[in-house]
Structure 1
Amino acid sequence: MEIECVLVRATAVPVISQSLFPDSNQKKNRNHSFKIKANTNFHQHNGHDHPFFQSAITRALYRFRETLRSDPLFVDPYAGCFAPSNIELDENLNQKMHHYRIGTRFIDDQLIAATKGADGAKQVVMFTDGMDTRAYRLKWPSSTVIYDVSPQEVFKKASQKLQDVGAKIPRSCLLLHVPLESSDMQQVLCNKGFNGSRPSIWVFQGFPVTNLVSFKEILFMASSLAMKGCLFLGEFPVWLTETQVGIKSSMEKWMYEIFMSYGFRVRIIGYDEVAKKLGQKHVIGDSDCLLFVAEQLRFSDDEMEIWRREYQRVEEDADEEGFEEL
């Protein structure tokens, strides 16, 4: 199957300013539309100096800033309840934000395209930082089950904050959490109802992977559970390539070999390529991530088990027919 860069216009989610922010914190701009101001001390709570919290809050700040733009690539009406309002982005962070907003819109579009229609994937596995709001802000088809794999403490506190501001999962959909700290994430996914004989789509963005070995474990899990033809996409941290000593080939070739070893055919998507299709300006500088889309070429474990049982049944039927002839 040829993997294409699918870009569709995401359905804009209205900013729920009344439920997110007190009236005293809303000011009208020149066009008489509401300008949102973050009102949160979420980042000041005990324990939030942990790197998992800080990196998740930074991404929430990116989404909050993007939502406030006059022509945003996406709208996240909930990011404001995480993002501290007193942080200024320096030039380096502004550059990272530009890559992040392009990558986030690309992933949003891929998710919308992959889940729509009767044959769309109704199982979404997202490896996140714990503050990802896609489960709340995207328009999911009926019966979609979203599995958020992320740090337990971040997800728990973020979920409470989202509940406090009135965020809700679309009706007839379901959000289930799989803790990063699980000793066997694959088993937890299956225990929570993941079915390897049904279509799924897998997303990797912001997940605090610690080393290349950890990422390979995720690839192994996706390879075992995802049906043939399913997609695994997201942002691959560039620093992970540095953990492989003695790499002399190009980064793209190296990634191709890593993914192919687990049955995925991967394609690197240039941020500039996506930006151009979105009508955005040239992305300046190098990103600390690689945008990728990978297609599963193997059968999942569940598909193989179904095939084994069918083969066994055919063999038994053939043996019985042969016995009757005798």
Structure 2
Amino acid sequence: MAEEERATSSDTDQLALRDLVMSDAVRAIHLTIDTEWGSLQQSARQTAAARALWGHVVNDPLADVLAGEQLLQGLYKKMRRDRMSNAKEVSGVMLAIRTLWFDARLQAAIESFGGGHVQLVLLGAGMDARAYRLSYLKETTIFELDFPDLIQLKSDLIRQVVASSDNQTNLTVSSDRLIHVPADLREPNWLQKLTDSGFSPGTNTVWILEGILYYLSYDDAMQVLETIARALEKTAHAVLLADFMNKSAVSLSNDMYQFYSDWPDQLLPRIGFCNVKVSQIGDSDANFGLLTDPENLFERRRKIPRSVDIDSLDGSPCCRLYLVEATESLSGEDS
């Protein structure tokens, strides 16, 4: 699928998909996903669809196959409707910006370590394809931790890409090593499974929690964050990259979202993280030139104090997504 077809086709009613996405093998895998996965796993395909359809800014050669035909068509229709109505923000732009922010901060974190081997831990990795698309991960061991069935079906989809005639770019893993860790973050033994798979607490590490925390219960999310904080105590240098919804955003879909934090920059230091920086969509480091209308929703939210829950202009909830970066724990810094 060409970039202009993925990202800017607003003059036709149909999305041009490459043959591989519509092949019987790929469709069969996504049919299994449709029938067997819950909302937490399904969210992984939504992110992949946004990465595919914002392909002019997000380079992800696997995203369309990982998303599947149905989700691509659904998001494409929303994007086309937004463009035809001159919407101030186009569907999927938040996920595109989120992806670019994590990519940029990941690269900066690796560079800050000053060389040497790095571990990248993707918790709730979903349909993430960073191991295949980011060239700066050459000296990095990547651990993708997620549900066993998700890891298996994702691997099946990637094998279809590698074996297909569409694989003109000779898709390969760009990192030093890619290790799959079948585990459930909601279970307290996930760190032990990560360690059993080769994770070394003493090695420089970047931890990524992208699009996962708000799907967890409060207890489960805090267990994950506290476990990472304890692991950071033994790490030479480490960076946590995560995104948090505020209470207003979670309340829009209590059936899907659970955990929230209105003040992650206060929450994380209490459990041991330091140097916490919080960005919102639309900030200078979380825009990437994709929010061009000065009256877009994200810009409006940025101008409203974070303590305000309701937008006085239209009475709508002030939904926010916080992009958060933190470094090694306070106890680790003192050691």
Q: Does the 8 A contact of 1:212 with 1:240 survive in 2?
A: no
Aligned to 1:296: 328
Distance 1:201 1:96, change over 3 A: farther
Paired residue total: 264
Alignment of 1:170 onto 2:174: yes
- When normalised by structure 2's length, the TM-score is 0.67
**Equivalences for 1:1-326 in 2 at 5 Å?**
36-37=17-18, 38-39=21-22, 40-41=26-27, 42-45=29-32, 47-67=35-55, 72-86=56-70, 87-89=73-75, 90=78, 95=90, 97-116=92-111, 119=115, 122-166=118-162, 167-170=171-174, 172-180=176-184, 182-207=187-212, 209-226=215-232, 227=235, 229-239=237-247, 254-265=263-274, 266-274=276-284, 278-282=288-292, 284-285=297-298, 289-300=321-332
In structure 1, distance between residues paired with 2:91 and 2:219:
25
Specify the code of the residue in structure 2 equivalent to 1:97: G
Cα drift, residue 280 of structure 1: 2.9
In structure 1, distance between residues paired with 2:244 and 2:74:
26
**Stretch deviating more after TM superposition (157-166 or 231-240):** 231-240
Aligned to 1:7: none
**Stretch deviating more after TM superposition (224-233 or 144-153):** 224-233
In structure 2, distance between residues paired with 1:257 and 1:276:
21
Q: Identity of paired residues, percent?
A: 19
Distance 1:165 1:98, change over 3 A: same
Q: Does the 8 A contact of 1:236 with 1:290 survive in 2?
A: yes
Cα drift, residue 204 of structure 1: 0.9
- When normalised by structure 1's length, the TM-score is 0.68
Specify the code of the residue in structure 2 equivalent to 1:210: L
Q: CA RMSD in A?
A: 3.6
Q: Does the 8 A contact of 1:127 with 1:206 survive in 2?
A: no
- Superposed CA deviations along residues 270-299 of structure 1, whole A, max 9, x for unmatched, are 211146762332453465532111122334
Aligned to 1:32: none
- Superposed CA deviations along residues 28-65 of structure 1, whole A, max 9, x for unmatched, are x9xxxxx6534242432263452234212111111110
Gaps of 5+ in 2: 10-15, 83-88, 163-170, 252-260, 302-318
